[in-house]
Structure 1
Amino acid sequence: MPNSQPPINYQHNLIELLTLIEKIKYYYFMDPKLLNQAIEQFNITIEAYYSETNTHQHENIANPTLLLSPTASTAPFTTYQNLLHSLHQQPLHHFQRGEILCDLHERQRRIHQTYISILSKFNKL
């Protein structure tokens, strides 16, 4: 039975997360209302991606014939899933007194490293 859901576009999703982080950094120095909206959008996006990858993972476990090969599809997926899991575990509203920029820089660094890692894995295929 063919997979009805399109594959996860890891690179696009990671670029989108980086863009959201840049927006939050911009709004940090601007209107608090816009900052709160940007933080909420980031958390919603992480939740959506996290749910999407969990669904994708369960489908692959239930129907292992969908996998091209163990390294071709699970390596980027596992890298991406680990990043989303860690971002999902600590939403952005759980920061303390002015530490949001440090948190955003750390998230940006990790998202960018994951993007480079996934890009490298796809290039090796």
Structure 2
Amino acid sequence: MTIAQLCLLVACLLPVGCAALAKSKGFGKRRRDGGFDNNAPREWLARLGGWQARANAAQANSWEALPLFIGGLFVAYQHQAAQGAVDALALGFIAARLAYIGLYVADKASLRSLLWVTGAGLCIALFFVR
């Protein structure tokens, strides 16, 4: 498995991690005591506030960012791009996404947006790497 392929696996798991973070408020509690409601998960998540609501928003954005990353890797592999360059761009994307999620949860909107642009730029670079 290449580093880029490992990064793809991590990128696919990032939304799951964000969801777990968002739902952590309800872990260990019964549903009637405010615990996570698996019968109505979206409604339960919609009632969250603060950092947990932002973690849920980061989950949604992580899903939204995934297709561009997958597409970039696909095109890079189609072009038989240098593996070192693909790996470096993929690692950069994962680093940007991890920082983005941290900044989202911490409510640092301007820095978060900068990291979003960085991650998107790295994905776009994958389309052109040789």
Report the TM-score when normalising by structure 2: 0.42
Answer with 1 or 2: which has the greater Rg. 2
Greater RCO structure (CA 8 Å; 6+ sep): 1
Report the TM-score when normalising by structure 1: 0.43
